[in-house]
């Protein structure tokens, strides 16, 4: 299926394909696939907005994250099959070749680590992976605590959009969230951490956010402002980060960092748009 309405079997005469070596073609192929995945994910989210929420993933604090993860994976699987032809069209216009013309080169680059290195998160925290945004209901819940978040962020010197990203990842904005490991509230504080941060009532949104932001600030200071290490510590504990001399090789922690960084980018862009 070709949603562009354009015949992609021939390169238009107005576009001159760029000469590239195998490595650049492999990178372009990957980027084209990622663009199609983003396009598909955006389309799915737009379609979801036009219908009532189904409750397929439940209404608990994990339901919104499951819904976002489902959309991401669904978009990935669709783009792998090149079902819409967007990646094919982009690649063909830039190279004059079919997207699947040289699959061996991409595999070779991935195996020797060259391409994987280019896909690592940048210093600004933006991941070159399918972007995951918080759901409408999640944003609405977090928005209820905006003034509390701003006050806590200013008090402890932490970016308020990062605080919102952590809340989105920890509890999806639900003040009554409780994890199987007994972490509680908006910022999922365990009892020992809550007590250490001076939180008397962990279920009180203002106290919970103040305590969570205070702890996040301590982790940022401990790891010299490295946001990813601070987040890894928030999720897995500072001892695990120190023991592994970096982000622990735990799938849960690595996915957590990716999720927070995605949400952080979203909230940063949202704040920029609001101020324009």
Q: Return all residues near 183 (Cβ < 8 A) that are at least 6 apart.
A: 170, 189, 190
Other beta carbons within 10 angstroms of residue 65's beta carbon come to 22
184 SS3 class: strand
**Catalytic option among 36, 88, 139, 170:** 170
Helical H segments across the chain, by residue range:
22-49, 63-80, 86-95, 103-112, 114-118, 136-143, 146-156, 160-171, 191-196, 205-222, 227-236, 238-243, 251-275
Catalytic annotation on 170?
yes
150 torsion bin: left (phi>0), alpha (psi -120 to 50), beta (else): alpha
Which residues are identified as catalytic?
A: 170
């Amino acid at each position: 299926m070709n949603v562009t309405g354009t015949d992609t079997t021939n390169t238009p005469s107005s576009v001159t394909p760029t000469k590239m070596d195998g490595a650049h073609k492999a990178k372009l192929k990957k980027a084209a696939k990622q663009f199609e995945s983003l396009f598909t994910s955006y389309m799915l989210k737009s379609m979801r907005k036009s219908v009532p929420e189904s409750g397929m993933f439940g209404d608990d604090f994990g339901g919104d994250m499951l819904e976002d993860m489902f959309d991401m994976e669904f978009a990935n699987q669709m783009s792998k099959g090149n079902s819409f032809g967007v990646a094919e069209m982009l690649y063909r216009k830039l190279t004059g070749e079919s997207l699947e013309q040289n699959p061996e080169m991409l595999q070779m680059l991935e195996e020797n680590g060259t391409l994987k290195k280019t896909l690592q998160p940048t210093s600004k925290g933006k991941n070159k992976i399918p972007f995951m945004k918080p759901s409408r209901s999640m944003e609405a819940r977090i928005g209820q605590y905006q003034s509390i978040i701003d006050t806590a962020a200013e008090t402890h010197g932490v970016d308020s959009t990062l605080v919102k990203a952590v809340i989105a990842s920890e509890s999806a904005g639900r003040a009554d969230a409780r994890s199987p490991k007994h972490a509680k509230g908006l910022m999922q504080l365990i009892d020992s951490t809550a007590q250490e941060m001076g939180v008397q009532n962990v279920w009180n949104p203002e106290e919970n956010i103040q305590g969570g932001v205070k702890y996040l600030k301590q982790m940022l200071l401990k790891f010299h402002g490295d946001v990813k290490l601070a987040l890894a510590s928030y999720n897995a504990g500072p001892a695990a980060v120190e023991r592994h001399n970096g982000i622990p090789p735990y799938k849960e922690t690595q996915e957590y960092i990716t999720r927070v960084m995605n949400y952080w980018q979203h909230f940063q862009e949202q704040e920029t748009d609001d101020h324009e």
